[in-house]
């Protein structure tokens, strides 16, 4: 049975200040919840689900120490922020340990310079997962990756992709001595299909409206752009641009390897 304190806590986690206060976040919907149970079971604190979800997925959390609360559809609506039908809400603990060595050993890192839209953030996380990026680094002023809209739009990829939160200078200092090449996505630059990409690399994606900051721009090794075929179009969505760039990098490097 759902308790009043449970409702209060879950609803509060929609706001960043309470996610920070309790060091927890919420996951909603079957797709994201199943991915969380498969990939980060040790971080699952509580499971609120219908009996149908429990019967269908109980093997996924049989080894979990998380509290399991069976709720009715009516009770679930009290804690769910989804407009569509839902069957489960999870409370997870935020990641505690940060593996800096993983960042240093990465071949491909994507750095987000103040991405503020939750939908863009979630989609970029999903794209990074699809193209097998080793790590994603978000700036301090980027949208919180534990925002429910980010979690939802990531479609479970957030539980597979290593994500760090550093300012550019901090990340650069961590990576110093590891010969990383820094590529920045710009409206003016070399065409993405005319650039030789060298590993290890960092791909910098700028803010939706301002682009890459001047301070970061000065530290780039290469500025790359996606060819524009309609001169009347001013810009490309940040998440779309990220996916296109990652595809081209994969394509170019696969093509290069195939020539040997």
Query: Distance between CA 238 and CA 120 in Å, rounded?
Result: 7
**Per-residue model confidence as pLDDT tens digits over 53-109:** 999 998 998 888 999 999 998 999 889 888 776 899 999 999 867 789 999 999 999
Domains (range + CATH), the chain: 4-93 (3.30.1330.30), 100-258 (3.40.1280.10)
Tokens of 37: 């149970």
Q: Is 140 exposed, middle or buried (0-12, 13-18, 19+ CB in 10 A)?
A: exposed
pLDDT (tens, 9 = 90+) of the chain, 260 residues, equals 788 999 999 999 999 999 999 999 999 999 999 999 999 999 999 999 999 999 999 899 888 899 999 999 899 988 988 877 689 999 999 986 778 999 999 999 999 999 999 999 999 999 999 999 999 999 999 999 999 999 999 999 999 999 999 999 999 999 999 999 999 999 889 999 999 999 999 999 999 989 999 999 999 999 999 999 988 888 889 999 999 999 999 888 755 444 44
Per DSSP, the chain holds a count of helices (H) and strands (E) of 11, 10
Query: Distance between CA 192 and CA 227 in Å, rounded?
Result: 8
């Amino acid at each position: 049975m759902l308790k009043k304190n449970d409702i209060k806590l879950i609803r509060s986690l929609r706001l960043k200040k309470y996610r920070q206060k309790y060091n927890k976040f919420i996951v909603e919907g079957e797709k994201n919840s199943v991915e969380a149970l498969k990939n980060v079971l040790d971080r699952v604190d509580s499971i609120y689900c219908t009996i149908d979800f429990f019967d269908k997925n109980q093997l996924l959390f049989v080894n979990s120490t998380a509290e399991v609360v069976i709720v009715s559809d009516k009770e679930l609506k009290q804690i769910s922020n989804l407009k569509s039908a839902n069957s489960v809400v999870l409370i997870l603990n935020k990641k505690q340990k940060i593996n800096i060595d993983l960042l240093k050993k990465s071949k491909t890192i994507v750095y987000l310079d103040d991405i503020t839209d939750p939908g863009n953030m979630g989609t970029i996380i999903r794209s990074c997962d699809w193209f097998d990026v080793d790590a994603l680094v978000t700036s301090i002023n980027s949208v919180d990756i534990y925002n429910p809209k980010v979690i939802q739009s990531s479609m479970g990829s957030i539980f597979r992709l290593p994500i760090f939160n550093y300012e550019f200078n901090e990340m650069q200092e961590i990576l110093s001595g590891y010969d990383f090449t820094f590529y920045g996505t710009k409206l003016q630059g070399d065409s993405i299909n005319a650039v030789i990409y060298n590993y290890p690399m960092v791909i910098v994606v700028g803010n939706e409206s301002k682009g890459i900051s001047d301070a970061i721009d000065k530290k780039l090794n290469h500025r790359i752009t996606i060819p524009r075929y309609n001169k009347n179009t001013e810009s490309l969505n940040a998440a779309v641009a990220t996916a296109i760039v990652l595809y081209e990098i994969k394509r170019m490097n696969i093509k290069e390897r195939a020539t040997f």
